Structure 1
Amino acid sequence: MKLDYHQHLEYGSYELDYAQGFLETAKERGLVEIGFSEHTHTFVEFEHFYYDDLILDDSFIGSFQQKWLKKNKFKYTVDDYFAFMEACREHFPVKTGIEVCNFQDQQAVGELLGKYDFDYIIGSVHFLRGWAYDSSEIKAEWDRRDLRGIYEQYTEEAEALCAAGHYDMLGHPFNIRLYQYFPDFDVTPYLQRVVEAMRRADMVVDVNTGTLYRYPVKEISPYGDFMRLAHEAGLPVTINSDAHRPTDSGAYHDMAVEYVRDFGYTETVRFTKRKREIVPLS
């Protein structure tokens, strides 16, 4: 079954004409169902988490992130989102998801998420000690950091997300390869720690083509070493595009299916109201 649960409307608006582009592309690529998983920075309810957690001083990182928080952020309520998803469902099968950043106050995050009837919730590591490591505008910060320290911090943040118990999927695991900073040390212990944390939390792997077509690394996340461990541990997978533009809905889906088949996967997960249905990969 062709599904794609990781798509974003943030570059446009909650207007049907804009969303229709995602739906039409999904149809053309043979998807039978999609899910939007808006970033939490879309919603006013989550604004304070960002101001609590991000570096917002006058440093190189802080100066950029101050501007980032004021650009196209916190423009809707979660109720606005649910209402718009209902409108979209009149035109195509659409599930309502959300992608939540690795905020430090996970208890408060859980209380907020619990107020809404999502079909699935993605937890993603987007910040390392308040640094938005995937932002190209501050990519130079990578040259100032110890890569072993980045792997440790990423792993700790992923473990904390999993342990919080709020999430159905871990978004794009180990996308810290996105700018081609490859380690010269054995990262297997870090991969194993995240796989084990996901196993304990009964979470699904977001096999994400976004790093293939949006970032210099040009590979599907998670990369092969993680995928081997994930399959050995029995972690389920979903195949997702991380589309931020209508033309990217379902992007490289067939390639990603073949990718996970190489590791032994034959099934994927369909979500409805946080309940799972195991369906064949296609």
Structure 2
Amino acid sequence: MNIDLHNHTKLCNHAIGECYEYVESAIKNGINIFGFACHAPMEFDKKYRMSVNEIDSYIYEIRALGEKYRDKISVKVGFEVDYIYKKEYLIEKKVLESDVDYLIGSVHFLNNWGFDNEEFLSEYNKIDINDAWKQYLQSIIAMAESRLFDIVGHFDLFKIFNNKPSFSLQKDIYNTLEAIKDNDMVLEINTAGIRKPICEIYPSRDILELAYKLEIPITFSSDAHSPSQVGFKKDFAISLAKDIGFKEVVSFSLHKREVYKI
């Protein structure tokens, strides 16, 4: 089963293309279940996300596409929601209560620093990388413990600019995966990292191997910001998952899991 659940729309102001173009690209790429998870509105960093007033029209458009293409593909709708440590109050209630299939929880910020944004690369010169990694992983633990989300987005995103976690952080990584397991979340295998300076999938193979040992379920995502990126390196991601030992992949309908053979 080919599944791709984490994809964006131009509502986030840093993606291009019409929603139907993403769906048609997914069909051409042999994807069976395709999901939109555009950046959810929030009273923070507003230029990179839709507004609250656009929630209903976003969901309506994606549901309409699901009906239009129902004989060719299953189309899902969700949100990618920013989780900022100790700032859970920023998450819009309307997002959490919306009639969507799933919510992806992602950490893009440490305090107010958007660490994956090239605009703020100079901030890396002001921090201790190990300490920042620990703060990042603690944010994911808190996100999991909030039990607000279905999927963990790009688990090791903090490596994006080639700052891989040191060996000394292995226990922290394991503890973070345990929190994901204990709070019944799904881990996405996200191929967008291959398009970034790190040139590596999220999460890395060693982390996926730990996730497999912990029996954490997985899903697949290309994190497309244009129709041409839909299904990006999907065959590589599927092959990697199978090689590690994963046999099942997860989708969602109204937050209920649907499990398929890979």
Fold in common (TM above 0.5): yes
Secondary structure at the counterpart of residue 262 of structure 1: helix
1:78 equivalenced with 2:55 (yes/no): yes
Among candidates 197, 212, 222, match of residue 231 of structure 1: 212
Distance in 2 between the 1:277 and 1:69 partners?
A: 33
Alignment pair present for 1:90 and 2:67: yes
1:206 counterpart SS class: strand
CA RMSD of aligned residues (A): 2.0
**2:260, 2:151 → 1: CA distance?**
16
- Post-superposition shift, 1:108? 6.7
Q: Distance in 1 between matches of 2:122 and 2:235?
A: 34
Q: Give the secondary structure class of the aligned counterpart of 1:260.
A: helix
Q: Find the counterpart in structure 1 of residue 111 from structure 2.
A: 129
- CA, structure 1 residues 161+12, in 2 after alignment: closer, same or farther (shift >3 Å)? closer
Tell me what 1:194 maps to: 176
Alpha carbons of structure 1 residues 191 and 270: separation in structure 2 relative to 1, 3 Å: same
Matched residue SS, 1:20: helix
Structure-1 residue corresponding to 2:127:
145
For 2:49 and 2:155, locate their aligned partners in 1 and report how far apart those are by CA, in whole Å.
Answer: 26
Q: 1:268 aligns with which of 249, 254, 260?
A: 249
Give the secondary-structure state (helix, strand or coil) at the position aligned to 1:179. coil
- CA deviations over 1:26-50 (Å, ceiling 9, x no partner): 011100121100101xx3xx2x2x1
Cα displacement (A) at 1:75: 7.6
- 1:37 paired with 2:37, answer yes
Q: Is the 8 A contact 2:6 2:223 kept in 1?
A: yes
Distance 1:2 1:71, change over 3 A: closer
Shift of 1:175: 1.4
Please list, as runs of the form range in 1=range in 2, the aligned pairs for 1:137-176 lying within 5 A after superposition.
Answer: 137-176=119-158
Deviation at 1:274, TM superposition (A): 0.5
Give the CA deviation at 1:256. Answer: 0.2
Identity %: 30
Which secondary structure does the structure 2 equivalent of 1:199 belong to? helix
Measured after TM superposition, the shift of residue 224 of structure 1 is 1.5
Read off the aligned partner of 2:63 and give its amino acid letter: E
TM-fit CA distance, 1:102: 0.8
Distance 1:71 1:202 in 2: 29
Contact 1:21 1:247 in 2 (8 A): no
Partner of 1:64: none
**Alignment pair present for 1:180 and 2:162:** yes
**Consecutive unaligned residues in structure 2, runs of 5 or more:** none
Provide the secondary structure at the position in 2 that maps to 1:6.
coil
